[in-house]
Structures are given as C-alpha cells and as structure tokens.
Copies of this chain bind each other. A is one copy, B any other.
C-alpha cells in the first residue's frame, strides 16, 4: 500500500495571490530572452505535425462548396437531382435544406446572416455544399448542382455605395450603422491656435490575410456531442459560436486546434464552412472534412478593408500639436464588421483637441475580418505621413517632432498612466542605431536612382483579456506537462511557454510537453490574436510554475529536514544552501516520487487597475527609387519596439520581420482588385496575381531593436504585445522614405511603379 503524502495546503493560494507572484520581476534570466528554436520544429519540418488539413478519420467525407458566381444575385432555384446520383455523394446542403435554415454566428453578436442566404451579396458567397466519399467526387458533384440566379446590380466602390441610387446590399441600405464619432477638447480652437494647419486625404487598398495554411475544419458527432478540429485562433470562441449555431450546451461542443499555419485574424470567427461540416456530419453520421481553396481564402474569409482617410492637423511653430480632425470612410464588405480605427490619432501623440469620425459602408465584396492590428496600419498611413508633412512645414526633424509630442498618459482613457512607455526610446535609440540624422541629412541625392529614409511610429491600443488559466504537472523525473487553452497560430507560442516553465523550474525546454487549444481538455485562454497571446498566457504559466516550485520546495524541506528558506530549485535538483550544502536531484527526492505528479495551477493576475499596459514602436526605412521605372526597393528597415520583455529573441525577431514584410506588402504591392465595371468580381484571387512580398522583395538588412523595458507592472513576465505593432508603421515609414527620396508624397497604397511614374511625369510637366 502506497503512502499517501502530497497534502499541500499552500499550493493554490501561492499560485494566485498577487503579492507572491503576480507582479514580481525576474532577475537575470537563464532561458527567457535567449534565442531558442521552436520546440515543435522537428514536427513542423518533417511533416509529422498534423494540421487540420492532414486529419483523416475512418469513413471521413470530403466536401465541395458551390459559391455564387455573381457579385450580387438572388438564388431562384437549386436543383440537386443530378448531383445526388453522382458516385460517392452522401449529402447535399443548400438554402432549402430544412436543417440548414440556421443563422451564422460569426463574432460575439447575433446571427450575421443566414447560413445560406438566397440573397447573395458578393461573388463567392455560399450557395450549397456537397459531401462525398472523395474530394474529387465532391468536386464533380458540385459541378452538377444546377443553381438558377437572378443577377442584381452591384456596387464595389465605397463612395459609389454611399450614393442615393446605389444598389441596396441590405434592406436598411448600405450603411451598417451610424458614424462613430470621438471628440475631446475644442477642435476649432485647436486649429485656431495653430501656426501650421495641413489637410490631406489618404487612401489604402484592401489587403488579404491569405495565411499559408488554408481554412479547414473536420467535424465529428458522437451522440449529442460535436467535436470539431479547426484551424482557428480561438477554440473557445469557436466552441461558443458553434453551440449557438446548433442551440446546444456549450459543453457538448469540443473544438480542437493542433498545428496551425497562420491566421492573422482571418481565423478568429466561426466560418460558414465549419457549420456546414458539422451539419453534413450530422446528416450522414460520418466525420466530414471541409477545406477552402486558396481562391476561397482570397474572396470569402476576410480582408483588411480599404480606407479613405482625411486628416487635418494643426501645430505650433515649436511643433506642439494643437488639433487633429479625421474622417475615415471604410467598408466592411457585404456584411457588418469593423471598417477602420482612428485610435492612433486619438492617443499616439499628445494633442488636446481631437475629433474623429468613422463611417462604414457595405459593398458587394467579401466581408472584412480583423487583420493584424485592424485599422491601425491604415490610420498610421495617414497620421505618420501627416507628421512627416508637418515636420517639413515647420522645418523640424521628423523624429524630433514626434519626440516633442510623446504623451505621458493614455489620453483616450482619461489620462490613465502607462505601466511603461518606451516610445521616446524607440524614437531616439532607433534613430541612433539607424543613423537617422546622417541619412536624413545626406540622402536627397540627384540622378535617376534616388535614396531616402523615412520614420514612422505607432502603438497598439488593446491590452487583451486577462483570464487565462494554466495547469502545470511536474513528474518525478523532472519533466513537465503544461496544459493551456491558447492556439499556437505559428508564432512560436508553445516555445515561449516552455521557456517560462524552463526558467522557473530549471527543466530543459524539450522536457516540457504542451497540450493546448482543446476546449475539451485544456483550460480557458482568450483567442490568439490582438497581441494578447504571450501577454495573457505567459503570466498564467509562470504562476503555475511558481505554484509547483512552492509545493516541491515544501516537499523537499520535509524530506530533507531543512528549512524551506535554505532550499533552491536549480537545473533539476534541490540545492541546500549553507556550509553543509549539497545537491539532491529530483529523481532522488523520494516524496516527489510518492506524489507521482505535482499539479500547479496559475492564473494571470491583473496589473494595477489605474494603469494601462500597451506596446510602442518606431520603424525606420531606407528606400531606393528608380525614377525611370518607378520601382521602389526597400533597402533597409530598423524596427525599434517596446513590447516589454523579450521572451524568445528568435521568435521575437521573426515576428518583427514578418510584420515588416506585411507592411511592405501594404506599402508597395498588395491590393484586392475588384472589377468595378463589368462583373464586380475580384480579379487577383491567387498568389500569382495578388502580389505578396517574397523573400526577394524585402530587405536582407532588417534590424530588430528591442527597447526592453521588462514591464514589471504589466504582469509577472513583463511582456507586452508584439504581433500587431510590428506591422503598424511600416507602410508609412516606407512612404515617408519615398517622399524623402523623390519629394513626392504618395497618399495611396500600394506605391506601385505605375503610380510613381505618373506622378513623376506630372511633376516634370508642372516643373
């Protein structure tokens, strides 16, 4: 009979009470902050990693979706009689299928639309789905489904959609809601006291997320329980939205996400395809896989919406900002969503008088979805070019102008102070490292090939949710198992979490097994997005590790008959301090063996309520413009980031370089092109026609400069968000560099050769 020890009273209180672990700082770190390769690198590169698309279940059916070929149409009739007789076909769903008459719950609010709405509002909208034994059979059968459409007039231009006679996309018209207005101070007085007032309209193109891994779901029913494997950024959000779709208890839905190849926000909401997989699974009593094509991911699962931003700014001679006024027109696509964000204008710089007005409009195109820092790169495109223009007007250095206006507090939060703000340091240390002064002074060279430098700053405006829970199990051999609900969407979250455990317990990272992102078996974490993944989860993991350590030291103190203060856990051993000091490897700790497993529970603790923890950023760009061809080459980027503590320098830099790449895409090549004249269709719906920057399009010379303020007030690991800030100012910095190189202010993304050559020609004509 085994001895029953392991009654540890102190465990959980230690794990959750703030004074003991909540906001403590690490001293010098052994693991955290170092460059550690991904713990799942082997699985990812050898192909043993099972992505949702790799899932195969016995008897699993495959699916093809029939999509509306018109930008705007009404479905008159769906005839499935021929398709039903095709080989391997097991079920067909469309708007007249009784079970399919359900709402589509994407996002936290009520149904966004019907699952199959006979009123198709964009080209690509779902009309029917076929499940068959093989993907080929499903595809063939889908081609045999006859759909009769009544095409309707369409509108794909934001401004045209606002016109009185424009085709109505929804019954209530083309405006999803009232314009969103923010106001502080006295805007007219602000402009009145300004020495310089500038106004400019900027426009951004629609950018597509298009993550490497296409959207995919596998659904399986067991009795009244539904399990869905999904390529999703938030299993708990999917679970809740599926439960609402099917009117089931939340606990009867299980959502699992294993390996994932990117999301960028396009995998935050429940997809119609996921609901279809579940419905087809219920109809056939078989598992069903549904995977989107690359083309589908371009048309149907989100985008960063185009914005038209008119910004008016006032400043005194010394550079003090006096007023900002901004109007943004954005489109949510064919369904409600978020079209824009004026946040940066409200809060990045100290400015007493601000008014912003954001208007959204429907067009006949795929719905937007939150895309990496939704709204912020667009807003930065306007604001940071305006700051550049103001500096020019006032004869100030653009870095100096920004430095002059760095705020101490969050103005949009009524003056709440930041737990830390590295914006000034990002600007000044970034400028120094980049060689800003020298380059800005010298590079207005002549000749056909011109070089220029540009700067742009930014911040991210959301702290994220807080209620993540982590469970850590320590085994007697010193290996550990971490249970946490977050998705690793490809950013290396698992590696960072393992490093936190390693730091705290002295366990090598490869001995930390991580089970994650499964609503059935892991604990709640908020969705992996909005730069909250590391911020929400690492503190909970550290708290759990501290709880385990506290238990372990208590056990060791009892067994070794030593006061607990004399014991330390280092590198898989208990070290007894003092003259009679010795090392006891965990394997030799008998009481640990008897406990079998030490379980620690950790939650993220809130930081002080009267503060706000946000990340800051400044990007510096150097470009070369060929004034004959209009080609822009980004030669060099330096990214100075205050995202609090750097958790893993390797994955940190990867995030920075990835964000810059996306920003360069927005600046120079990416744009959804809709055929406004003939068809309303997206014409560049693939990786050939839609120009994503490749390795050859981004500079080899990219520098990540962490301004490391381990933010001990933000949380117990000191990290702030990184995923969003990395892409916010890039495009504006590039545009400012192009201005510096050429004297041209390009207000419209992408800065493509055609646009540049035209503008250069115009200038030549004018000059």
Contact = CB atoms under 8 A, between A and B. Distances in A.
A513 interface: yes
A17 B7 contact: no
A677 interface: no
Nearest to A512: B251
Contacts of A483: 521, 523
A16 B10 CA distance: 8
A518 interface: yes
Contact of A243 (B42, B250, B477): B477
Contacts of A522: 521
A597 B236 contact: yes
Interface in A1-45: 1-2, 4-7, 9, 11-13, 15-18, 42-43
A254 interface: yes
A479 B513 contact: no
Contact of A521 (B249, B466, B479, B518): B518
Given A15-B12, A513-B251, A606-B7, A519 B481 contact: yes
Interface-centre pick from A9, A56, A58 (highest chain B CB count, 10 A): A9
22 contacts: A1-B462, A2-B108, A2-B465, A4-B466, A6-B465, A7-B467, A9-B16, A9-B18, A13-B16, A43-B222, A43-B223, A249-B475, A249-B477, A250-B479, A465-B596, A467-B597, A467-B599, A471-B471, A483-B521, A515-B521, A599-B603, A601-B601
Contacts of A56: 58
B524 A521 contact: no
A11 B605 CA distance: 12
A606 B6 CA distance: 9
A476 interface: yes
A469 B8 CA distance: 12
A252 interface: yes
Interface string A61-77: 00000000000000000
A464 interface: yes
A48 interface: yes
Contact of A254 (B11, B466, B513): B513
Q: What 10 pairs between A and B have smallest CB-CB spacing? A: A521-B521, A12-B12, A249-B479, A251-B479, A250-B475, A524-B597, A6-B467, A251-B513, A7-B606, A469-B599
Given A467-B6, A481-B519, A599-B469, A252 B524 contact: no
A750 to B, nearest CB: 29
A753 interface: no
Contacts of A7: 466-467, 605-606
A312 interface: no
Interface of A: 1-2, 4-7, 9, 11-13, 15-18, 42-43, 46, 48, 56, 58, 108, 222-225, 236, 240, 243, 249-252, 254, 461-467, 469, 471, 473, 475-481, 483, 510-513, 515, 518-524, 526, 595-597, 599, 601, 603, 605-606
B4 A465 contact: yes
Nearest to A511: B249
Contacts of A520: 481, 513, 515, 521
A483 B523 CA distance: 9
B9 A475 contact: no
Contacts of A58: 56
Given A13-B16, A251-B473, A515-B520, 4 more contacts: A4-B606, A249-B475, A524-B599, A526-B596
Contacts of A42: 223-224
A684 to B, nearest CB: 33
Contacts of A463: 4
A501 B690 CA distance: 53
A284 to B, nearest CB: 14
Contact of A240 (B480, B510, B524, B596): B596
A596 B467 contact: yes
Question: A243, A250, A465, A475: which has the most chain B beta carbons within 10 Å?
Answer: A250
Nearest to A244: B477
